[in-house]
């Protein structure tokens, strides 16, 4: 039997225990619906409030978070999450407004959304923005739907191929798969740019477009980005920008100015919305003029202009002419996403945003410089906000995974492993702008020390982590036995 470190909420339950109680009913009693419509049992836990608080507090201590320390997870932009955001997003006027309230009663919300649309347009150089998508992948799907709708509206039905670089995030091909398009992989050249020759050969009148992350997942800004876009546009395709790495571009260059037609933002990466242990994120999408009419409905617009003195404009909802429809039941991740990101942008202003990108890029280049002599950097030039090193050494069986696990013993969260796929044993490192020089030095020292350990005591690395509360997991057991919940309703047998 495995040792139980922390019982589940069901194991902590004891019949008859009470937590928060509800007031007694203040209305005359009505009979319940007929018995066949009622459930016979409600198999949920019974605990006192203190039991619940201690349980989840103990669980929280098993987590490593940005508030604990350095979290250089490549392509995830694990920057510090300002505490003021937590207060602004919980203002009662935001917390307690219903999504279907008449617009006259929610002008504060709509003004915030309108300004957010305008700000994101200005930051990215796009003509229109939808705030509806719930996450980056959701934004991507929105973007691909718009690209498909654009071609369809022109009666151009033979376009079924999407060009996607070999270094792309898995969500790119998956988004394309949801529309039944085929993926054509586009190779990178030796400097980490899109291979222009190969791209030219792939460009024809069956191309829907290209999905490109720039800077890409190697942390490289494509040195021929305008040529790439020209080629795709030249064959009638549209250019999708994966905004995962926008942190490197704030105030540096606007994707819309480069010629991108559509891009999703990750408010949870670039604009400090906390990652929440895997969500909720927020993935607004910006589009150039050719796609503006296809944006999801509704957008926030000005219904009645204000005047310069007193009258504020009246904000409301508008539907783009050829909208692809609705991506989500209501208006997007308003409270948890938009309010936090709005607060963040408002506090940075144009110069502060440029500082973010500059220092994110400085930190990444500084770490790259400090590690260059110890770890192979396969695409070694000035990087943007992240870079990729190889987590392997000549004549050693130590792998990127071992290095990552050992970093936990030194008190750091590991970088992203095994991605992008084009670098063997990849360690993808993104420090972000919110780390100081001491932290970066300590992290570099730890990685150099681990490289030494790979020679002197490789077993230590294979067994790492050893100082954490939990060790390496048996993932085969999890997948084969599939225990997916801790208390099943009567009559169910998972092994049957």
Partner 1 sequence: MNTPSNLKYTKSDEWFDPATGAAGITDYAQSQLSDIVFVELLVDEGEEIEVGKPIASVESVKASAEIYAPAAGKVSAVNKGLSDAPETLNSDPYGEAWMIKIEGGAAGEVMDAAEYEKYCEGRSH
Partner 2 sequence: MTYIPISPTERDAMLKTVGVKSLDDLFDAVPKKRRFPKLDLPPALTEMEAAAHLAEMAASNEHVREDLISFLGAGAYNHYVPSVVDHMLRRGEFFTAYTPYQPEISQGTLQAIFEYQSLMTNLTGMEVSNASHYDGATAAAEAVNLAYAQFRGKRKKVVISPTVHPQYREVIRTYTQGMGVETAGDDATNFEVGPEALTSLIDESTMLVIVQYPDFFGRIYDYAKLIEDAHAKGSLVCVVANPTALLMLKTPGEMGADIVVGEAQPFGIPLWYGGPYLGFFTTKKSYVHKMAGRLVGETVDNRGQRAYVLTLTAREQHIKRERATSNICTNQGLLALASAVYMSTLGKTGLQEVANLCYQKAHYAANELSKIEGFGLCFPDPFFHEFVLCTPKPAGEVNQYLLDNGILGGCDLGRDYPSLANHLLVAVTEMNSREEIDALVEVLKEM
Site for partner 1 in 455-494 (CB under 8 A): 475-476, 479-480
Give the interface segment with partner 2, choosing from 120-128, 300-308, 386-394, 453-461 (CB under 8 A): 120-128
Residue closer to partner 2, measured from CB, 148 or 232? 148
CA-based nearest residue to 208, from 233, 244, 245:
233
Q: Is 349 in the site for partner 1 (CB under 8 A)?
A: no
Half-sphere exposure of 298 (CA within 13 A, CB side): 17
Residues 401-460 that bind partner 1 (CB under 8 A): 424
CA-based nearest residue to 136, from 301, 293, 278:
278
Find all residues with CB under 8 Å of 492, minimum gap 6, and list them: none
Per-residue string for binding with partner 1, 260-279, x by CB under 8 A? --------------------
Residue closer to partner 2, measured from CB, 7 or 424? 7
424 binds, among partner 1, partner 2, none (CB under 5 to 8 A by kind): partner 1
170 binds, among partner 2, partner 1, none (CB under 5 to 8 A by kind): partner 2
Buried b (16+ CB within 10 A) or exposed e, 4-31: eeeeebeebbeeeeeeeeeeeeeeeeee
Angle of helix 107-124 relative to helix 340-371, nearest 10 degrees, comes to 30
Residue closer to partner 1, measured from CB, 469 or 480? 480
Q: Is 44 in the site for partner 2 (CB under 8 A)?
A: yes
Q: Report which DSSP code applies to 295.
A: S
Give the interface segment with partner 2, choosing from 196-204, 214-222, 390-398, 453-461 (CB under 8 A): 214-222
Give the interface segment with partner 2, choosing from 13-21, 198-206, 423-431, 449-457 (CB under 8 A): 13-21
CA-based nearest residue to 456, from 402, 376, 405, 396:
396
73 — phi, psi (to 5°)?
-75, 110
Q: Are 137 and 174 within 8 A, CB to CB? A: yes
Angle at 44 between CA 41 and CA 50, to 5 degrees: 145
Shortest Å, Cβ 292 to partner 2:
18
Q: Is 456 in the site for partner 2 (CB under 8 A)?
A: no
Q: Is 448 in the site for partner 2 (CB under 8 A)?
A: no
**Residue 285, H or E segment:** strand 285-287
Contacts with partner 1 by CB under 8 A: the residue count is 5
Among 151, 264, 331, 399, binds partner 2 (CB under 8 A): 331
Q: Is 174 in the site for partner 2 (CB under 8 A)?
A: yes
Handedness of CA 202, 206, 210, 211 (dihedral sign): negative
Shortest Å, Cβ 34 to partner 1:
41
Q: Is 311 in the site for partner 2 (CB under 8 A)?
A: no
Shortest Å, Cβ 477 to partner 2:
5
Q: Is 107 in the site for partner 2 (CB under 8 A)?
A: yes
DSSP bridge partners of 212: 241
Residues 274-333 that bind partner 1 (CB under 8 A): none
Residue closer to partner 2, measured from CB, 56 or 204? 56
Measure the CA–CA gap between 428 and 169, rounded to whole angstroms.
13
Strands (E), 145-230: 161-165, 182-186, 207-213
348 binds, among partner 2, partner 1, none (CB under 5 to 8 A by kind): partner 2
Measure the CA–CA gap between 449 and 440, rounded to whole angstroms.
14
Residue closer to partner 1, measured from CB, 24 or 476? 476
Interface ranges with partner 1 (CB under 8 A): 424, 475-476, 479-480
């Amino acid at each position: 039997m495995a040792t139980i470190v922390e019982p589940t909420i069901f194991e902590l339950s004891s019949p008859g225990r009470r937590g928060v109680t509800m007031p007694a009913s203040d209305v005359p009693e009505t009979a319940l619906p007929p018995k066949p419509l009622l459930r016979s049992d409600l198999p949920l836990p019974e605990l006192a409030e203190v039991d619940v608080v201690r349980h989840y507090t103990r669980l929280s201590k098993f987590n490593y978070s940005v508030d604990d320390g350095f979290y250089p997870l490549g392509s995830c932009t694990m920057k510090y999450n300002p505490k003021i955001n937590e207060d602004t997003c919980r203002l009662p006027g935001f917390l307690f407004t219903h999504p279907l309230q008449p617009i006259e009663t929610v002008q504060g919300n709509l003004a915030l959304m309108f300004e957010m649309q305008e700000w994101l347009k200005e930051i990215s150089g796009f003509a229109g923005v939808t705030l509806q998508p719930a996450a980056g992948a959701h934004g991507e799907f929105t973007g691909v739907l718009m690209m498909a709708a654009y071609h369809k509206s022109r009666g151009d039905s033979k376009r079924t191929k999407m060009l996607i670089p070999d270094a792309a995030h898995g969500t790119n091909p998956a988004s394309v798969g949801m529309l039944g398009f085929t993926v054509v992989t586009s190779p990178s050249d030796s400097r980490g740019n899109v291979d222009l020759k190969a791209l030219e050969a792939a460009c024809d009148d069956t191309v829907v477009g290209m999905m490109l992350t720039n800077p890409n997942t190697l942390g490289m800004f494509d040195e021929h980005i305008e040529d790439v876009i020209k080629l795709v546009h030249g064959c009638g395709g549209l250019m999708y920008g994966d905004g995962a790495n926008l942190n490197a571009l704030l105030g540096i260059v606007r994707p819309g100015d480069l010629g991108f037609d559509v891009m999703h933002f990750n408010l949870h990466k670039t604009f400090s919305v906390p990652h929440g242990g895997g969500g909720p994120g927020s993935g607004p999408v910006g589009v150039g003029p050719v796609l503006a009419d296809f944006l999801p409905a509704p957008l926030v617009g000005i219904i009645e202009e204000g005047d310069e003195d007193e009258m504020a404009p009246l904000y409301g909802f508008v539907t783009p002419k050829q909208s692809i429809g609705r991506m989500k039941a209501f208006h997007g991740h308003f409270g948890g996403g938009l309010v936090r990101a709005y607060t963040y942008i408002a506090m940075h202003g144009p110069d502060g945003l440029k500082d973010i990108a500059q220092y994110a890029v400085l930190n990444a280049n500084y770490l790259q410089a400090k590690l260059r002599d110890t770890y192979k950097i396969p695409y070694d030039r000035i990087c943007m906000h992240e870079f990729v090193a190889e987590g392997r050494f000549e004549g050693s069986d130590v792998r990127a995974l071992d290095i990552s696990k050992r970093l936990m013993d030194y008190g750091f969260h590991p970088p992203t492993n095994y991605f992008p796929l084009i670098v063997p044993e990849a360690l993808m490192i993104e420090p972000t702008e919110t780390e100081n020089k001491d932290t970066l030095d300590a992290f570099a020292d730890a990685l150099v020390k681990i490289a030494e350990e790979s020679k002197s005591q490789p077993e230590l690395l294979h067994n790492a982590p050893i100082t954490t509360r939990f060790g390496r997991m048996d993932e085969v057991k999890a997948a084969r036995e599939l225990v997916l919940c801790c208390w099943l309703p009567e009559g169910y047998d998972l092994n049957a």
